[in-house]
Amino acid sequence: MALVDRVKNILLSPKTEWPLIEQENATTAGLLKDYAAPLIVAGAVCSFIGLTLIGVGGFGFSFKLGFVDGLVQSILRIVLGLVSVVIVGYIIDALAPTFGAQKNLAQAMKTSVYAHTAAWVAALLGIIPALGIIGVLISLYSIYLLYLGLPVTMKCPADKAVPYTAVVVIAAIVVFIIIGVALAAVTPSRMPGGSFNIGSRGGGQVTIEPGSAAAKLDDFAKKMEAAGKKMDAAQKSGKPEEAVAAAMTGLGAAFGGKAAEPVGIELLKPLVPETFAGLPKKSARAEKAGALGFMISEAEARYGEDGGKNVTLKISDTGGAAGLMTLASWVQGEREDEYGREKTYKAGNRTVHEKVRKDGRNEYAVILAERFVVSARGAVDYEVLKGAVNAIDLAKLESMKDMGVTK
């Protein structure tokens, strides 16, 4: 069934759609790549646009997330979206005997994926942050979908559906709190949360022009098919963390990215200068941390003087964020308002983001090789800030682009 049709049916007529879902043969890999991933990515993109380009405001207050922070948050949304589906599926299956239901991991995964539909559709409202509260209310409909689905897919008695649903939701919340704490270590200084088949049928033949949109879709489908095989193998291992990692890596590969183990902090620290933008270094830190296959290395330093000028410099290796940093190259544009101007553009193979504010707190960031991020922000002249970032040995970072790349 087409993705749009399934979304419409599960939202508008769930009581008749769940029996159809229960009869379908589906793998976790297929559910993730054909249904979950497109909806999760769409929501993440809408959130990125809403928080970085539109912003949240009212009563004289306005807030917009920085480009780098917005990008990291979007990637985390995709990661956590895939993680939540798999974890809730395992929770549903593990709790089945407690509520007189049948243990069946395949059915549990289907239940988890399709019950999440309302929350994923609600995430699309993130493109207009002011509608956030409406999105929260819509996402609660996912709990109702779960309540209707459990008796059908997991064969639990009707009188046990309410407690079964409640315990699944509570258990999931506890797990996600733990995940949130773990991921806070990955981004300590930042704010966090269908298949395409082109071929021949019935003896007909389809010719795909190289470099055309159809060719790109065909390449996307082949990559997702390969990723699906890896996800199937990971699922059979019985280790949910391997299934999640395979899902993230496969999704990143489909978008053209490469997953990699981030370089050690000993390679980033030498790139942090003693003086930056004409200011002496006041403090520094470096760490490599991660969870659920999402790892990051980061070296950070703060510079300042008594006169009030201050700058924070961060040099990070996201390891390609499981290949998803390639999404950064898709984002380009500019805007100007009463607070200043902001622009994101491609400069050769690099993605550059610049923000010039009228209050003097400026920002300049460069994404290199779809994995390294060098960003600086602070109360100094924009041209000075830009020059200081470009004075760092960015070419040396780019030379490390193949270190730790997953084959």
Q: Does residue 218 share a domain with residue 80? A: yes
The lowest-confidence range among 1-5, 125-129, 180-184, 387-391 is: 180-184
- At 223 the pLDDT is 53
- At 214 the pLDDT is 43
Q: Is residue 259 part of a domain?
A: no
- At 126 the pLDDT is 74
Q: Does residue 173 share a domain with residue 77? A: yes
Q: Does residue 123 share a domain with residue 208? A: yes
Residue 238 has pLDDT above 60, yes or no: no
Q: Is 127 helix (H, G, I), strand (E, B) or coil?
A: helix
Per-residue pLDDT reduced to its tens digit, 116-152: 999 898 888 777 665 666 667 777 889 999 999 999 9
Percent of the chain at pLDDT > 90 equals: 31
Mean pLDDT, range 153-169, rounded to an integer: 91
Residue 248 has pLDDT above 60, yes or no: no
- At 145 the pLDDT is 93
Residues in the chain: 407
Beta-bridge partners for 310: 304
- At 220 the pLDDT is 47
Q: Is residue 405 part of a domain?
A: no
Q: Does residue 96 share a domain with residue 63? A: yes
Q: Is residue 308 part of a domain?
A: yes
Q: Is residue 215 part of a domain?
A: yes
Backbone phi, psi, residue 4, to 5°: -60, -40
Q: Does residue 388 share a domain with residue 364? A: yes
Q: Does residue 269 share a domain with residue 243? A: no
- At 239 the pLDDT is 54
Q: Does residue 387 share a domain with residue 312? A: yes
Q: Does residue 187 share a domain with residue 71? A: yes
Q: Is residue 403 part of a domain?
A: no
Residue 221 has pLDDT above 50, yes or no: no
- At 333 the pLDDT is 73
- At 153 the pLDDT is 95
Q: Three-state SS string across the chain, please?
A: CCHHHHHHHHHHCHHHHHHHHHHCCCCHHHHHHHHHHHHHHHHHHHHHHHHHHHCEEECCEEECCCHHHHHHHHHHHHHHHHHHHHHHHHHHHHHHHHHCCCCCHHHHHHHHHHHCHHHHHHHHHHHCHHHHHHHHHHHCHHHHHHHHHHHHHCCCCHHHHHHHHHHHHHHHHHHHHHHHHHHHCCCCCCCCCCCCCCCCCCCCCCCCCCCCHHHHHHHHHHHHHHHHHHHHHHHHCCCHHHHHHHHHHHHHHHCCCCCECCCCHHHHHHHCCCEECCEEEEEEEEEEEEECCEEEEEEEEEEECCCCCEEEEEEEECHHHCCHHHHHHHCCEEEEECCEEEEEEEECCEEEEEEEECCCCEEEEEEECCCEEEEEEECCCHHHHHHHHHHCCHHHHHCCCCCCECC
Q: Does residue 319 share a domain with residue 241? A: no
Q: Where in the sequence is the domain holding 346, given as residue range(s)? A: 265-398
Q: Does residue 352 share a domain with residue 306? A: yes
Q: Does residue 308 share a domain with residue 181? A: no
Q: Is residue 364 part of a domain?
A: yes
When comparing pLDDT for 187 and 50, which is higher? Answer: 50
Q: Is residue 131 part of a domain?
A: yes
Task: Please state, in angstroms and rounded to a whole number, the distance separating the CA atoms of residues 404 and 407.
Answer: 9
Domain boundary among 254, 275, 291: 254
Task: Tell me the pLDDT of the chain averaged across its residues.
Answer: 76
- Number of domains, the chain: 2
Q: Does residue 374 share a domain with residue 235? A: no
